[in-house]
Amino acid sequence: MEKLIIASLAVFVLFGARSLAQDFVYTPVNPAFGGNPYNYSWLMSSADAQNTFEEPEDDWSLYDDDPLASFQESLNRQILSEITRQLYLSQFGEDGLAEGFYEFGSFQIDVSPTSEGMQIRIIDVATGSETTVVVPYF
């Protein structure tokens, strides 16, 4: 048993002196962090291939330079704002929106009472779209 221990120690000492170690050095891949600058194009092509996000196209048609169209759009916005204000006043104020049929610009507005509350139908004549708002009674 003693010979076995001495033999194993001798083997460890002999091979321990013979073994050579090397330094491990980390080199980053990304050139922004000190990596090889030739990796840049490979990293960019790999990132582009994995990118599923698509940038929205610039839709300049939303921004008309036509002053008349801009005026009509502004007028329509003001009308809708006034209707909103009137709805608010009808709920919380004494002077509410009177029942009847109104026509403003490209909008036709029909205000009528129903069993659920005051119904306001807003029809955009230019596009044909229709919105119905019911303000309930309290």
Between 31 and 57, residue with greater pLDDT: 31
| Residues whose CB is less than 8 angstroms from the CB of residue 2 and which lie 6 or more positions away in sequence, other chains included | none
Domain of residue 24: give its range.
2-50
Strand, coil or helix: what is 24? Answer: coil
Q: Are 71 and 44 in the same domain?
A: no
φ/ψ bin of 105: left (φ > 0), alpha (ψ from -120 to 50), beta (otherwise) = left
Give per-residue pLDDT as tens, 77-112. Answer: 888 888 877 766 765 566 556 788 877 778 888 888
Q: Is residue 56 part of a domain?
A: no
Q: Are 106 and 71 in the same domain?
A: yes
Q: Are 92 and 38 in the same domain?
A: no
Alpha-carbon torsion 63, 69, 71, 75, what sign?
negative
Q: Is residue 30 part of a domain?
A: yes
pLDDT for 133 beyond 80 = yes
Q: Is residue 101 part of a domain?
A: yes
Cα-to-chain-centroid distance, residue 117: 36
Q: What share of the chain is helix, strand, coil (3-state, %, to 5)?
A: 45, 20, 35
Between 70 and 13, residue with greater pLDDT: 70
pLDDT for 27 beyond 80 = yes
Per-residue pLDDT at 21: 66
Per-residue pLDDT at 6: 82
Q: Are 76 and 27 in the same domain?
A: no
Total number of domains constituting the chain: 2
Q: Are 40 and 74 in the same domain?
A: no
Q: Is residue 60 part of a domain?
A: no
Q: Is residue 35 part of a domain?
A: yes
Q: Are 39 and 70 in the same domain?
A: no
| Residues whose CB is less than 8 angstroms from the CB of residue 132 and which lie 6 or more positions away in sequence, other chains included | 119, 120, 121, 122
Q: Is residue 81 part of a domain?
A: yes
